[in-house]
Structure 1
Amino acid sequence: MNLFRKESLERYLGTDQKFVKSLTAFDLIALGVGAVIGTGIFILPGTVAATDAGPGVILSFFLAAIVCALAGMCYAEFSSALPVAGSAYSYGNVIFGEIIGWILGWSLILEYMLAVAAVSTGWAAYFNSLLASVGIKVPTALSGPFDPAHGTYINLIAVIIVLAITAMLAHGMNTSMRINNIAVVLKIAIIVIFIAVGVFFIKPGNYHPFLPYHITGVFQGATTVFFAFLGFDAISSSAAEVKNPRKNMTTGIIGTLLIAIVLYMGVAAVLVGMVKYTKLDVANPVAFALEMVHQSWLADVLSIGALIGMFTMMVTMIYSSSRLVYSIGRDGMLPTFLAKLDPHTSVPQNALWVVALIIAFMGGLVSLDHLTSLVNIGTLLAFTFVSFGIIPLRHNREISNQGGFKVPLYPVFPILSGVACLAMMCLLKKETFIGAGIWFAIGLLLYFGYGYRHSKLNR
């Protein structure tokens, strides 16, 4: 049994040729910003300032961004050298071997689907409160996961939003990207309006002391806000559908991180300047700060921004999930009907709708309160392998990246990135590792029971 047999880049490129190459650098940045900038931008800067870093939360975001930038550069080199669908799953198959590729793919399935299911319930909660403000109340039975003891049977709004986004993606990438791009521009505009208005209410005294919890608080805050930047890796799932991937994939990944850090640091700087950091340990710090300076109209606008932010995140993650499942089906390790592309739209419809139904089931019927932390371990595992994978990638003479992006200061930056991701993983709770262990055990059973025998490498 050869668990480390490797896939051929040529076969991947040949199979993925059926995709229409329609995505531009702007589309990729919109996908990335759509995934990275969500409701966290209205919550994390305040809560981390209050509990960990004080006004030094600005530095916390900067430090977290540096770690993500290192991993981002590694993803940029991989997507430039291997412009195929499947992200870290495909990279693992080509560079490390099939069993590593499968483990990475299985962890990414968990990351993408669980993240969308969790966000769909958050979107439903915001939408329900918006309906309530105009006198419309969703019946209790249709407003939560299956829990007859508390009178809830299904979160109908969460199911509807997932299926609506999937229907949009099923129509093809051109229409989907137009809608997503408009939503992302609106979301950024709302955040910029907050920064522009908030600047006029900054009191310099609120920045003192700048490091009330000392430099250790800044580092502790960085470990918390690090997870706010996760999601840019989803861009690499789209490589097979990108015009000029060697140039545009790099622009998409690095551009996403640059925009994210400017927006996160901007919101953090304005927020702790408007209100003393000690008062920001509340459920919605940005809305609270606006109420404090009598700008409640903008708080209502931010609620719309939060809905748009969650919408774009779900678009990116459902899209990425479908391309990941397509890639695993392409290799025969899941049923091959998942790898079929619709002849009219060039969309893997089977993979897309299977993903959607699973996510809708999880978001509509399952309580996810104790599962969302598993998203972090799946992401960090992929980051670690992609970071260290730059070294064997550079030594692989069959893969040419002539003229493509390469991580600077090789091998220092890839090693630093891998070590930083391992360090972040060590900070996760014991319960997260137990949950991940169960998930990976299920994945290995599936691999040895089905995937290994049906893999196209067996032929």
Structure 2
Amino acid sequence: MFLRKKLDKQISKSDIFSLALGAIIGWGAFVLPGDLFLSQIGLQNTIIGMSLGALIMIIIEKNYGFMLSKHAVAGGEYAFTYYSFGRHHALICAWFLGLAYISIVPLNATALSLIAKSMFPGLLEKGFLYSIAGYKVYIGEILVASLALVLFAYFNIKGVKIASALQKVMTMFLVGIVFLLLFMVLNNPEIGNSNISTYLGFSKLSIPKILKILTIAPFAYVGFDCIPQAAEELDFSPKKASKLAMLSIIVGCLIYIMLNIITAFAFTQEMILSSKIDWATGDAVELLLGKIGLYSLGISLLMAIVAGINGFYMAASRILFALSRAGAINSWFSELDKKTKTPKNATLFVMAVSLITPWFGRSVLLWVVNMASIGAVIGYLYTSIAAYKLAKKENDKTIKVTGLLGAIFSTSFCVLLLFPGLRTSLTMPSYIALIAWAILGIVFYRKQAKGYKDMKKETLDKLILNKDSKKLKNVG
């Protein structure tokens, strides 16, 4: 007889909403207006692309909500995939999804240096070590990123309540400041429309550019799928969690659009491309609203970064916990803190891996993260097909449609990212990282997962889904 470890139900509605939204809005929302959206895509194409991307994510989330209502357990997509396709597919899904979640933690931590470079030039550029792929690595930046990683690992281990309370405060500041800044820009009579008007007009519309934005949607909105990872800890109905996930996608889309509008009021596309603008959105806010506006934006960016660290710590540790509980990886990962009942060892592992990555610089880390976006898409694909299969069995016409659409969209994302030669495809370093991770997964499966492969289905049903096989009607 075995003892199934379980997590306590401690997460409220406001907790889960702030978890999802804080994970969605990371450093990219503040940096991409200058680096990609306005400089290469244009305001109209960005708004259309991000809105369509949000709509697609809401359709995919419908599938998540449907599966979550059936299996509200830690692991999310891992459990959904196991139910519909069995243990082997479940492990493939979790292998790539786990990498996506884990890699985003240090990506957010290293983004702290972006704030310092823009607001306090030279502050962290102390103790130059070396350059990797054109990125200069400084000990000052590594120390700050490491401090953030250790601090939020501590908060997560000390309990869901502490981590969730911090997430709510950070998300409130993040959203509130962006809304306030846009309100101030729109209501300032001294700010004209001459710059933003250059982005408008039918001739500015471009389907290829809109498609380019759509390809980053899985990465831009990754975060709503953190909710299924924490499903076992919800103290309310999973159906309500699904509605909150949709709301987080909508608010996240608005934040992306608002930051682009603010930037467009200050700079034309030509200005961004021709002048030496390090941080277009930051420079725009300073130009329009002064230093107070810039510092306010800096606080909002800081909240976005640390909320992302916190949110993906929770998501990554839960999927590792679920894998360990099922016997797919070492039982060490499913050890819980004696007082707080949180996945202590899984959190420590995420922290340890994350502490290594800043030493390689952001360029190398971005290769991994770009590749890891495939992991999020794989999660979307498996969940959508699983929802379709179950909906077909239960004759749920709505979910049959969203499941099929979700599978089509997810497959399209995969093609756009993986097919060589397309503008949207991965770079060669990201392809290499993807192949290396896949090979590592095959080696791991053959060498380390023997117990998992040989385990009785009845045992796995209980460990993964917390259900009796006799009462469970699998569709796979």
TM-score bracket, normalised by the shorter chain, equals: 0.7 to 0.9
Distance 1:411 1:62, change over 3 A: same
Distance 1:128 1:263, change over 3 A: closer
Equivalence for 2:112:
123
Per-residue deviation at 1:283? 4.0
Give the secondary structure class of the aligned counterpart of 2:227: helix
1:50 to 2:50 alignment: no
Per-residue deviation at 1:433? 3.7
1:203 to 2:200 alignment: no
Which 10-residue stretch deviates more, 271-280 or 18-27?
271-280
Q: Return the TM-score normalized by structure 1.
A: 0.86
Equivalence for 1:252:
244
Which 10-residue stretch deviates more, 48-57 or 96-105?
48-57
Per-residue deviation at 1:45? 3.5
- Distance (whole Å) between structure 1 residues aligned to residue 199 and residue 335 of structure 2: 56
Superposed, 1:38-77 pairs within 5 Å as: 38-46=26-34, 47-77=36-66
List runs of 5+ in structure 1 lacking aligned partners. 1-10, 398-405
Runs (4+) off by over 6 Å: 142-147
Identity %: 18
Which 10-residue stretch deviates more, 214-223 or 85-94?
214-223
1:304 to 2:299 alignment: yes
Equivalence for 1:422:
411
Paired residue for 1:158, among 142, 145, 164?
145
2:87 partner letter? E
CA contact (8 A) 2:49 2:211 kept: yes
1:342 to 2:337 alignment: yes
List runs of 5+ in structure 2 lacking aligned partners. 418-424, 460-476
- Distance (whole Å) between structure 2 residues aligned to residue 117 and residue 27 of structure 1: 22
2:115 partner letter? Y
CA contact (8 A) 1:235 1:252 kept: no
CA contact (8 A) 2:131 2:137 kept: no
Give the secondary structure class of the aligned counterpart of 2:174: helix
1:37 to 2:25 alignment: yes
- Distance (whole Å) between structure 2 residues aligned to residue 208 and residue 131 of structure 1: 34
1:24 to 2:16 alignment: no
- Distance (whole Å) between structure 2 residues aligned to residue 311 and residue 72 of structure 1: 24
Equivalence for 1:386:
383
Give the secondary structure class of the aligned counterpart of 1:382: helix
Equivalence for 1:327:
322
Per-residue deviation at 1:226? 5.2
Q: Return the TM-score normalized by structure 2.
A: 0.83
1:44-67 per-residue CA deviation (whole Å, 9 max, x = no partner) reads: 344323312343322121111111
Paired residue for 2:311, among 304, 311, 316?
316
CA contact (8 A) 2:219 2:376 kept: no
RMSD over aligned Cα atoms? 3.0
- Distance (whole Å) between structure 1 residues aligned to residue 299 and residue 251 of structure 2: 20
2:390 partner letter? L
CA contact (8 A) 2:68 2:238 kept: yes
Equivalence for 2:465:
none
1:442 partner letter? L
1:242-279 per-residue CA deviation (whole Å, 9 max, x = no partner) reads: 01242332133112112112222333344334543443
- Distance (whole Å) between structure 1 residues aligned to residue 14 and residue 285 of structure 2: 32
CA contact (8 A) 2:31 2:281 kept: yes
Per-residue deviation at 1:164? 0.6
1:73 partner letter? K
- Distance (whole Å) between structure 2 residues aligned to residue 457 and residue 64 of structure 1: 40
- Distance (whole Å) between structure 1 residues aligned to residue 31 and residue 145 of structure 2: 21
Give the secondary structure class of the aligned counterpart of 2:340: coil
Superposed, 1:77-92 pairs within 5 Å as: 77-92=66-81
- Distance (whole Å) between structure 2 residues aligned to residue 137 and residue 269 of structure 1: 30
- Distance (whole Å) between structure 1 residues aligned to residue 329 and residue 87 of structure 2: 13
Kindly tell me the number of residue pairs found equivalent between the two proteins. 436
1:443 to 2:441 alignment: yes
1:219 partner letter? L
Give the secondary structure class of the aligned counterpart of 2:17: helix
